[in-house]
Amino acid sequence: MPIDQSEAVILRTQSFAEQDKLVVFFSREKGLVRGIAKGARKFNNRFGSSLEPFSVVRIFYYEKERQDLVTVSNCDLLESAFELFRDRRTICFFSYLAELTEKFSPYRAGEEKLYRLLVSLIRAARAGQRVEYLVRYFEYWFLKINGILPDFQTCQKCHRQISNTAWLEPQKDGVLCERCARERKVELSPPLARAINWVRKNPPEANPDPELKPGDWKKLGQVFQAIIIFHLEERPRTLDLLDF
Ligand SMILES: [Zn+2]
């Protein structure tokens, strides 16, 4: 059987059969893949800590005909996520990121931009970036990569440039200006537009704009999450863990 190998981010694992683990990972070349790591629950097994969520690894696996699950034969740890697990909020953020990545990504379709986003977020979190900022950074780029990020700068109805407060359009694929908006549920105020611009132009490790308050970042989350829930047609389970 030919062995495939790829750089990957481990998204999650769960117990499988008596001694194995189901491993969900996002690989650079093939995107979302699920596999079985045989013997991974045995004491002193060959995988060591390489299957911990958010480890960056080189993973070796082979496929069996007509089976969705690959067999993970080996896994080398490239970057440990150990430090990330000291902080409860960081764990919540990464669980949310893993759930969205697993639910939105087609099975085994490479998406290198998303792979690079995941790795850059892991590195920024390890370097001490604030998680309240990283979560918004993730949501923005995740929507963009999935092709569902609305144009926040132009009113969808009258096509005027947005200069003041706007509202998310009910189908969540654009915004409406103060003149055109009827349903005023999800507000996009000028500080939120400023925050979006910041995320668009800066890397995840950059210090967020000092003019913006923690409350602005939290409100921006409500805008992004309304779009995510609309497209997912359900509320992500891990969203309840996020209090930022
Ligand atoms: Zn308008």
Q: Are residues 161 and 211 in the same domain?
A: yes
Domain region containing 48: 3-80
**Percent of the chain residues past pLDDT 70, beyond the cut:** 100
Count the domains in the chain. Answer: 2
Contact 152, 169 (CB under 8 A): no
On whether both 185 and 109 belong to a single domain, the answer is yes
Last residue of a domain, one of 80, 110, 142: 80
219 C-alpha vs ligand 1 centroid, how far in Å?
22
Instruction: Using alpha carbons only, give the angle 50, 53, 55 rounded to the nearest 5 degrees.
Output: 50
Q: What distance in angstroms lies between residue 223's CA and the mean position of ligand 1's atoms?
A: 18
Output the CA 155–ligand 1 centroid distance in Å: 5
CA of 166 to the centre of ligand 1 (A): 9
**Are 105 and 212 in a shared domain?**
yes
The pLDDT-based confidence of 1 (bands split at 50, 70, 90) is low
What is the CATH number for 196? 1.20.1440.120
Residue 155 pairs with which residues in a beta bridge?
175
Residues 125 and 173 in one domain: yes
pLDDT band, residue 243 (cuts 50/70/90): confident
Residues 76, 112: one domain? no
51-66: average pLDDT: 93
Whether 142 and 165 map to the same domain: the answer is yes
- Sorting pLDDT into bands at 50, 70 and 90, what band is 85? confident
Tokens of 59: 């993973």
Asked if 14 and 116 sit in the same domain, the reply is no
**Residue 129 clears pLDDT 90, i.e. is over it:** yes
SS3 56: strand
Asked whether residue 206 falls in the same domain as residue 164, the answer is yes
As a whole number of angstroms, the distance between CA 72 and CA 47 comes to 10
- More confident position, 100 or 65: 100
How far is Cα 222 from Cα 220, in angstroms, rounded to an integer?
A: 5
pLDDT at site 57:
98
The overall pTM is greater than 0.75: yes
Same domain membership, residue 67 and residue 92? no
* Together in a domain, 230 and 128: yes
Q: Reduced to 3 DSSP states, what percent helix, strand and coil does the chain have, rounded to the nearest 5?
A: 35, 25, 40
CATH number for 28: 2.40.50.140
Q: How far is the CA of 181 from the centre of ligand 1 (A)?
A: 7
Report CA(179)–ligand 1 centroid distance (Å). 5
Note residues around ion ligand 1 (Cβ under 5 angstroms). 155, 157-158, 177, 180
Q: What is the largest CA-CA distance in the chain?
A: 65
Kindly state the average pLDDT of the residues 164-188: 94
Measured N-to-C along each axis, helices 112-126 and 131-145 cross at an angle, to the nearest 10 degrees, of: 180
Single residue among 24, 45, 80 that ends a domain in this structure: 80
CA of 141 to the centre of ligand 1 (A): 26
* Of residues 156, 159, 160, 190, the one with CA closest to residue 170: 156
The whole-number average pLDDT for the span 125-130 is 94
Final residue belonging to a domain, choices 46, 80, 114: 80
